[in-house]
Amino acid sequence: MLLRHTKKASEAVDRKALTINPAKTCQPVGAMYAALGVHGCLPHSHGSQGCCSYHRTALTRHYKEPVMASTSSFTEGSSVFGGQANLLQSISNIFAIYEPEIIAVHSTCLSETIGDDLKQITEKAIADGKVPEGKHLVQASTPSYIGSHVTGYSNMVKGFIDKFAFNTGEKKRQVNLISGWVEPSDMREIKRIMKIMKVPYVMLPDTSDVLDAPMTGKFQMYPNGGTTISEMASMGDSMATVATGHFCSRDSAIHLENKCKVPFKLTDVPIGVKATDRFIQAVSSAAKVSIPEEVNVERGRLVDALADMQQYFYNKKVAVYGDPDTLIPLCEFLVDLGMKPMAVVSGTPGKEFAKRMEAILAEKVPGAKFANGSIADMYKLHSWIKEEPVDLIIGNTYGKYIARDENIPFLRYGFPILDRIGHSYFPTVGYMGTLSLAKDILNLLMDYQDANCIEEKFELVM
């Protein structure tokens, strides 16, 4: 047994202070991911170099792509006297050596604890002439002792809006999409849906063509993808904003509304039939366009396939962990399929999660357990599973230890996935993405049956 010390929930200590096997990580990695979705942008980690190294490593291992970012490389001295000198020096060096359009500075626990004020330091950098003409600094405060990686993502996106979005007074026939933390493939899929719906849009951030850049024989420090400065500026003139995900996108949408008077619709990340329906409706009403037949056809194709699959899903128990914005629509979808999400955890705090889970699970899945925030960790999830076994586990790579110990089929989903390649290329959003997600779940359940059933039950046609 790999997790040989894990106890059943009924035998485990009721923990107050100790997190074991977290279902979250820290703010800056989210800020870094978001900043990579902006064109010509170099994320900069203001703190010791370890944080930056870890965050780049986590993202690189997940995407199998270059993840460029710089660090203020604090030492003991900077920690005592403050990091202003380090950041100012960093800014000069980065513009001189790496020549980005934008440096997106995020803080770390260290610089936050010292009390470095990023806004003040970046203003000083501009005043001191350290920012060349036409180049920009953006900053986000991302202390990891508040929230999670999801919070950092949200804060960084908000930073870009704060810096660039501008209301010229002239409305533009376009919709803003604040995309939430999804894969580059998901962002690409959402853009495809926009094209089908003939809706002009600006998507922020957009990591497609950045974290799935093609092999060309040349390294491009700033790949072709990413939201551009002029696109971000134009967001202030858009008709409306569609923000997907309460945790990743809501603050940015509110900020944009306050700053530029662009109204927003907040909806879920479009995973599953219903969440995609809501997303399509939100886009349709934001852009004031009717929903084209092609969307109906895709939807119909999905529902048709789900009708064929449904018998295999019915009453299957699932344990899920990850980020609230994806867990909410995912659990809704699992319930729609007739499955039972019996154990759900997210390390990301926030009351909205419990409220939504309650609504999704209370009636349809009696006995379902869910938790988020402090100590809602994978150890807890595992101890619940030991109490009440499940048929499927869904979550990031770390679930493989539980899956192997307990012999449960396992779907890798979320961040980070460190042990497989390809996950970032195939979307799970929209009707077509949902279909591929359902297919993956079904294959796992059936492969498990084929591998484990007794011989007389092994059948050709299933």
Partner 1 sequence: MSINNSKSKMPDPSVLKEEILKKYPGKIAKKRSKGFLVNDPTTVPEIQANVRTIPGIITQRGCTYAGCKGVVLGPTRDVVNIVHGPIGCSFYAWLTRRNQTSPPTENDPNFIPYALSTDMQDENIVFGGEAKLKTAIQEAFDEFNPRSIAIFSTCPVGLIGDDVHAVAREMKEKLGINIFGFSCEGYRGVSQSAGHHIANNKIFSNVIGIDDVTEPKGKFKMNMLGEYNIGGDAFVLENYFEEMGIDLVASFSGNSTIESYEYSHKVDLNIVMCHRSINYIAEMMEKKYGIPWFKVNFIGAKATAKSLLKMAEYYEDAAMIKATKALIDREMAKVQAVIDEVRPKLEGKTAMMFVGGSRAHHYQELFTELGMETIAAGYEFAHRDDYEGRKVIPSIKIDADTRNIEDLKVEKEEASFRSELQDKKAKLEGAKFDFEDYEGMMPEMKKGALVIDDISHWESEKLIEKYRPDIFCAGIKEKYVVQKHGIPLKQLHSYDYGGPYAGFEGAINFYREMERMLTTDIWKMIDAPWKNEPEMVGSMVME
> Which of positions 126-155 make contact with partner 1 (CB under 8 A)?
143-146, 148-149
**54 near ligand SF4 (CB under 6 A):** yes
CA distances to 70, 123, 168, 228, 417 from 175, rounded to whole Å, are 33, 31, 16, 15, 32
Q: Which is nearer to partner 1, 40 or 50 (CB)?
A: 50
Dist. CA 156–CA 162, nearest whole Å: 10
Residues numbered 144-163 forming contacts with ligand SF4, rule: CB under 6 A: 144
We find the least distance from the C-beta atom of residue 27 to ligand SF4, in angstroms, to be 6
Phi/psi-derived region of residue 165, left when phi > 0, alpha when psi is between -120 and 50, beta in every other case: beta
Of 31, 32, 38, 109, the residue at the interface with partner 1 (CB under 8 A) is 109
Dist. CA 103–CA 93, nearest whole Å: 11
**313, 338 contact by CB (below 8 A):** yes
Per CB under 6 A, the segment of 48-56, 61-69, 221-229, 338-346 that binds ligand SF4 is: 48-56
**109 near ligand SF4 (CB under 6 A):** yes
**156 membership: H or E segment, kind and range:** helix 149-164
Residue 448 binding partner per list partner 1, ligand SF4, none, with a CB distance cut-off of 5 to 8 Å that depends on partner kind = none
Q: Show the site string, 2-41: x = touches ligand SF4 by CB under 6 A, - = not.
A: ------------------------x-x-------------
Contacts of 32 (CB under 8 A, 6+ apart): 43, 45, 55, 56, 59, 67, 69, 106, 152, 156
**12 near partner 1 (CB under 8 A):** yes
Of 32, 33, 38, 86, the residue at the interface with partner 1 (CB under 8 A) is 86
CA distances to 263, 348, 356 from 352, rounded to whole Å, are 21, 11, 6
**87 near partner 1 (CB under 8 A):** yes
**89 near partner 1 (CB under 8 A):** yes
Dist. CA 320–CA 344, nearest whole Å: 5
Q: Which is nearer to ligand SF4, 38 or 110 (CB)?
A: 110
Residues numbered 232-251 forming contacts with partner 1, rule: CB under 8 A: none
CA distances to 65, 369, 397, 399 from 411, rounded to whole Å, are 22, 20, 9, 9
We find the least distance from the C-beta atom of residue 64 to ligand SF4, in angstroms, to be 22
> Which residues of the shown chain bind ligand SF4 in the complex (CB under 6 A)?
26, 28, 48, 50-51, 54, 108-110, 144
